[in-house]
Amino acid sequence: MAIYHLSAKVIGRKGGRSSVAAAAYRAGGRLRDERQGIEHDYSRKGGVVHAEILAPETAPDWMRDRDRLWNAVEAVERRKDAQLAREIEVALPRELDRGERLELLRGFVQRQFVDRGMIADLAVHEGRARDGHGQPHAHVMLTLRALTGDGFGKKDRSWNEPELLLGWREAWAREANAALERAGRSERIDHRSLPVQRAEVEREATRARDAGQEERARQLEVKVVELAREPEPKIGPAANALEKRGIETERGNAFRAAQARNAERREWGWRQLELRFELAERGRAFVAAARERIGQLWQRAEAAMENIRERVMGQMERSDGSADREARRAAVLGRGGAEVQRQNQDTGRERVAPVELDPGRRDAILGRHRDNGQERQSGPGRDQDRER
């Protein structure tokens, strides 16, 4: 996992510190402090794999000599509490090889510091992290005064702006991620605070779940657990030396306490995440079983409907067969086709029995009259005959 770290601090004379001593320690070399008459020898210090000075093109050549550069800084600063240099410490991506890390560091220092007029004394260290893996990092000491002619002028106060530091932090994340991408690595670093990063990853996980991207949602939820931690305080070289000798320090105790709290948060987060994954898996299994059961019931319903259709079709075929049998029977009995057809047409119709009319009523309808039991025809012709 790529680690982001960029811190800035000022090396001052207050407390008896010296820029010459700081430069000798970080470069793993031997320098003599002319102002104090002390030689600082750190040539036996291990872990320093590279050191060099980057300066603007207008800087004189002697400023590229480490011994002369920092002794000149000590000489120009006369106050007892003078600020001597600014130090930038960055964690180099362990995912890159040594050459790629150096190229990344040089480009960043050149663009962000040297091009602004600062002289940068950089040193690359490769230590061992608490997880047992490499811990490559760099120390960059920067001058605070502008260059004028062959020496230093006034201090440039614009280099102390907080917005500039924020810009450096963002630029380091951007350039380191670009280097990781060029190297074909998927790891990325983020300069933002842990709560801000965690909130963004939580939103991404929610969007992934809503889109049905379960695997991506899981990966993001794991990242949320990793980001649910508090920053661990830096022990510092002095306290670290005492800790190595078995002497507990206040910084060491604060660091261990933060580690314990982070371990507890991480353990609790993993338990919650495992429970959530288990519940989600059970939910998916339940839905799958329900779908399978519904599918079985649907198949049974379709089979029942098919049976019903077959029965209905069978009854219809038997009805048609009965009509055919009646036709064949009529042919055997010698009945004509018209009669059979008429019978078939009359099949199912309601027949009305003939009504027997009263004779008198019938004669009245037909216009007949009866005299003494004899039938008489009525009408205009009959009446004329009678008149004659």
pTM of the entire predicted model = 0.65
Cα angle for residues 34, 16, 76 (degrees, 5° grid)? 45
Give helix then strand counts, H and E, for the chain: 11, 11
Give the pLDDT confidence score for residue 142 in this predicted structure.
98
* Residue among 373, 362, 384, 128 at smallest CA distance from 240: 128
Ordered structural domains, the chain, with CATH: 1-191 (3.30.930.30)
**Residue among 63, 85, 121 at smallest CA distance from 13:** 85
The tokens describing 296, both together, are 């079985």
3-state SS class at 321: helix
According to DSSP H, which parts of 147-213 are helical?
162-182, 194-210
Contact 108, 20 (CB under 8 A): no
- At 183-222, the pLDDT tens digits run 999 999 988 888 888 898 889 988 998 898 888 888 888 8
Condensed to tens digits (0 to 9), the pLDDT of residues 235-290 reads 877 787 888 888 999 988 998 898 899 888 888 888 888 887 788 778 878 888 88
Query: How does pLDDT run across 316-366, given as a tens digit for each residue?
Result: 777 665 556 566 555 555 555 455 455 545 554 545 445 555 666 666 655
pLDDT above 70 covers a percentage of the chain that reads 81
DSSP-assigned letter for residue 61:
G
Q: How far is CA 20 from CA 41, 70, 142, 152, 358, in A?
A: 11, 5, 13, 17, 151
Cβ–Cβ < 8 Å for 191, 176: no
The DSSP annotation for 116-127 comes to GT--EEEEEEEE
